Amino acid sequence: MNFEWIKYLHLAHELGGQTLSLANQEARLRAAISRAYYAVFCKCRNRLRDKENHRIPPGGKAHQYVCNEFKRSMNKLRRQIGQTLERLRSDRNKADYDDKITMLDLLVKTDLALADNIISILNKL
């Protein structure tokens, strides 16, 4: 069955403290995937920008730039971050744009674990 995109608006109202009706579970799971990606993307972007003096391109180009900077590294852990970030971005795109996602529960659990792992690695660098 196709996702009812209006459920995102319900979730937005719920998150904004203006609950009209409870968002359904699928909207929550999709939002979790999206927010997990953005959490790690922004942490990675800020590390490059603030600690390594990278000039991050504006807008959507930043996503590929950040991913590539980590993937091209000689450091194995940084390459792992880049590869995982790329996967999370792909999953975020699915959550944000695809009408159907199979095994969504598993995808959320996996992506949350991957996001946690990226944060753990970043804290060790």
Query: What's the pLDDT at 60?
Result: 92
pLDDT single digits (tens) 5-59: 777 767 767 776 665 565 678 888 899 999 999 999 999 999 999 999 999 999 9
Query: What's the pLDDT at 9?
Result: 67
In the Cβ-directed half-sphere of 92, how many Cα atoms lie within 13 Å? 19
Q: Which of 41, 49, 121 is nearest to 89 (CA)?
A: 41
Query: What's the pLDDT at 12?
Result: 67
Q: Tell me the C-alpha distance between 110 and 124, whole Å.
A: 21
Query: What's the pLDDT at 14?
Result: 76
**Full-model pTM:** 0.86
Q: Please state the domain extents for the chain.
A: 30-124
